[in-house]
């Protein structure tokens, strides 16, 4: 009777302790901001690893997501004789939800897992302790550039995803299925508001960038320094990122678009 209770208590205490460590970790990582301003090369190197190498994946996924939206939207909308609204449907779903969310999920699989594995291995092979021995703060040298590279890359990647996705929808809807081009764009422009939709989309992707990268670097830094520990940390990084992105998306959507 007492044992399950004890396990429950231990699990909750562990979860809270981890949450506390994660917050301390973020605060410490933020103290490294002057360091990356002084040495922007560190940040640029990580932007390359995190951002540039994800472009192809993000662009192709955006294209296919937009094309599928165009196809499915056309099937449903043509039942009501409202094919002209296809542009609104594709753009609204991409700008408001799919752009930031799918990009964040892909980003956590492509870049987040790599960050976790890299930092976890650095810890397991005692490179982080080695840096400390040489009076180099691994927090400022390793963690902060990666954190900010992720945070800065996410909105750019999400913007790319959304834009290419809309052209995917345009390709299928207008060029293949024959929706009128003028009403495709004009209805879209009439329905998508700059402040309400585009700015909120950028805010969302920025928030997801913080969440995904924070989880990824923290899981790596907090990993048990064995090969099994690193592999578990990598899995957790992707799983927690997905949960956190989808959960916070609901909250952000409720705050932004709920009345």
Partner 1 sequence: MDNSRIVEIWVGVFVAIGLGALFLLAMQVSNLAEFREQKTGYRLRAHFSNIGTLKVRSPVKIAGVTVGRVAAIHLDPEQYQAVVEMRIQPQYKLPDDSIASIYTSGLLGEQYVAIEAGGSPEFLEDGDEIEITQSALVLEELIGKFLVKATEESGPKE
Minimal distance, residue 198 CB to partner 1, in Å:
5
Answer yes or no whether residue 236 interacts with partner 1 by CB under 8 A. no
Answer yes or no whether residue 155 interacts with partner 1 by CB under 8 A. yes
> What is the Cα gyration radius of the chain?
21
Q: Which of 208, 192, 196, 193 is nearest to 258 (CA)?
A: 196
Minimal distance, residue 142 CB to partner 1, in Å:
17
Q: Return left, alpha or beta for 193; rule: phi > 0 is left, psi -120 to 50 is alpha, else beta.
A: beta
Dist CA 216 CA 115 (whole Å): 6
Q: Which is nearer to partner 1, 163 or 171 (CB)?
A: 163
Buried/exposed code over 67-87 (b: 16+ C-beta within 10 A; e: otherwise): bebbbebbeebeeeeebbbbb
Q: Which is nearer to partner 1, 51 or 120 (CB)?
A: 51
Answer yes or no whether residue 160 interacts with partner 1 by CB under 8 A. yes
Q: Residue 258: phi, psi to the nearest 5? A: -70, 155
Q: Which is nearer to partner 1, 48 or 243 (CB)?
A: 48
Return the residue matching tokens 């990666």: 146
Q: Choose, by CB under 8 A, the member of 69, 89, 106, 166 that binds partner 1.
A: 166
Q: Which is nearer to partner 1, 120 or 155 (CB)?
A: 155
Q: Which is nearer to partner 1, 112 or 159 (CB)?
A: 159
Interaction site with partner 1 (CB under 8 A): 41, 44-45, 47-48, 51-52, 55, 91, 95, 153, 155-157, 159-160, 162-164, 166, 185, 188-190, 192-194, 197-198, 201-202
């Amino acid at each position: 009777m007492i044992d399950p209770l004890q396990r429950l208590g231990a699990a909750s205490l562990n979860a809270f302790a981890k949450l506390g460590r994660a917050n301390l970790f973020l605060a410490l990582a933020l103290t490294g901001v002057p360091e990356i301003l002084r040495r922007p090369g560190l940040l640029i190197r990580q932007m390359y690893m995190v951002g540039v190498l994800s472009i192809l994946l993000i662009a192709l996924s955006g294209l296919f997501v937009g094309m599928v939206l165009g196809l499915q939207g056309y099937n449903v909308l043509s039942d009501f004789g409202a094919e002209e609204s296809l542009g609104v449907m594709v753009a609204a779903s991409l700008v408001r939800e799919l752009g930031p969310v799918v990009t964040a999920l892909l980003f956590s699989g492509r870049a987040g897992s790599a960050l976790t594995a890299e930092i976890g291995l650095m810890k397991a092979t005692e490179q982080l302790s080695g840096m400390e021995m040489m009076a180099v703060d691994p927090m400022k040298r390793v963690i902060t550039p990666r954190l900010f590279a992720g945070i800065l890359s996410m909105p750019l990647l999400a913007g790319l995803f959304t834009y290419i996705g809309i052209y995917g929808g345009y390709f299928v809807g207008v060029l293949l299925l024959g929706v009128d081009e003028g009403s495709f764009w004009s209805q879209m422009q009439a329905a998508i508001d700059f402040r309400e939709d585009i700015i909120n989309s950028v805010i969302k992707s920025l928030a997801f960038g913080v969440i995904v990268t924070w989880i990824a670097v923290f899981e790596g830094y907090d990993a048990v320094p064995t090969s099994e520990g690193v592999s578990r940390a990598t899995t957790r990084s992707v799983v927690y990122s997905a949960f956190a992105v989808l959960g916070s998306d609901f909250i952000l959507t409720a705050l932004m678009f709920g009345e």
